[in-house]
Chain A
């Protein structure tokens, strides 16, 4: 069992070992408790500077990271696309160099191009945390999803987790797939054939377009948001038709396990991929996911911020 993450960056769950994932989840448990105190702050990252650079819009992830950083006593700055110099044509590499000159310790980055954080990480001595890159990965989202599952179901081995929604464009689904299969869970992707990435079965996931089939023995159903724009791009004829076949509602849940857990990364499209009844019902842990997101991000920030010296001195 490892005691520390000997890494500079968190770019994806594809690179992490099962041991490393377990370490992050264990650490998150301790951090969950801090948000329940009246003084919701610990001095661990005092004096560290963290830059949140979001080239793609985001409210929930950005706020979650900002709060996590502040609760660890770090200094934070946030940049979003419309105000960033990238709009003025600066290259990613130059943006990176400028950040470096400000002596930033950690960069949290979201970008619409898959692989952008990986590229940035190569040019920076600062740690880079991927907050979502194109359709590649969103590691902290998958980690908080896994933490939520662990809190309620207590194990991953043999657990059946079904994802329903736009798998094709989903970095959340991909990160979850890497993480969950490493820890022994069985993953199912359910979507219209137009929204399933070709040959994804090679990564160890069961694929189906039959919702009843996907739901009937699932321990966890994780819903991915359907973007209305996809209608215009001919991935499905209409939102209504999508909903008629793939929506999670009380009817469909009748054939699911009685203790099935409903998850959603948010924001929720009530009436599309999920009904209000289910969102607000007792099987939904959607709001817990938000709380857990804070704990998981604090854990990741904490674990990545140590220096990379191998030896740990004894302190008494």
Chain B
């Protein structure tokens, strides 16, 4: 199916990135008050949970956690085929006035984040939205930037970045594969 899988982050690498990002979030926001961590389905949610836990370890505060399904806000509905399955969105409380840290596994074209921003704004008026990603692979098609990055991995368009998480795939790792041209 694809050749030359290359591991760019192992389990320890992922764990260290999460800890570092948690510290960076607390540093930039001068603590955890008004913070809300929102993970983008599916793997962003696992990362968000880990960040919430890590922030609690450091600051002893449990920030509210939410999960966002952006399927309904995609800009390619009706073009990519039969509409994809819609998952649940669950945001605790009112998001107005909160500093939201959006969490996703891979930042690529930026369209998923654009959809997530639209979805969040429909829910209320947050004080601010910041973005944390495990991997930034470049090739942005929209002016979107991550505030917190686990690892920058330059890739070509022919490659695919696959993030595996313990909660869903059994182990943590990030690999890059040559995408099979079809």
Contacts and interface: CB of A to CB of B under 8 A. Distances in A.
B107 to A, nearest CB: 8
Contact of B73 (A29, A43, A311): A43
B80 A306 contact: yes
B85 A23 contact: yes
Contacts of A199: none
B123 A4 contact: no
A313 B78 contact: no
Contacts of A310: 81
A305 B112 contact: no
A302 B83 contact: yes
B112 A315 contact: yes
Contact of A44 (B77, B89, B107, B111): B77
Contacts, number: 94
Given A39-B123, A42-B72, A44-B72, A316 B106 contact: yes
A223 to B, nearest CB: 32
B77 A306 contact: yes
Contacts of B111: 315-316
Contact of B88 (A33, A307, A316): A33
B73 A312 contact: no
A56 B91 CA distance: 41
A26 interface: yes
Interface string A281-316: 000000000000000000100110111111111111
Contacts of A6: 82
B13 interface: no
SS of B interface (majority): loop
Contacts of A302: 72, 83, 86
Interface string B71-101: 1111011111111111111000000000000
A3 interface: yes
Given A314-B160, A315-B111, A30 B86 contact: yes
A126 interface: no
B36 to A, nearest CB: 16
A301 to B, nearest CB: 10
Contacts of B81: 4, 306-313
A37 interface: yes
A212 interface: no
B109 interface: yes
A27 interface: yes
A141 to B, nearest CB: 22
B124 to A, nearest CB: 8
B69 interface: yes
B82 A306 contact: yes
A302 B69 CA distance: 15
Q: Which of A31, A38, A39, A43 has the most CB of B within 10 A?
A: A43
B106 A306 contact: no
Contacts of B82: 4-6, 303, 306-308, 312
**Lowest 5 CB-CB distances: which A-B pairs, in order?**
A4-B82, A316-B108, A306-B83, A306-B82, A42-B72
17 contacts: A4-B82, A6-B82, A23-B85, A43-B72, A44-B73, A306-B80, A308-B81, A308-B82, A309-B80, A309-B81, A310-B81, A312-B81, A314-B160, A315-B76, A315-B109, A315-B111, A316-B137
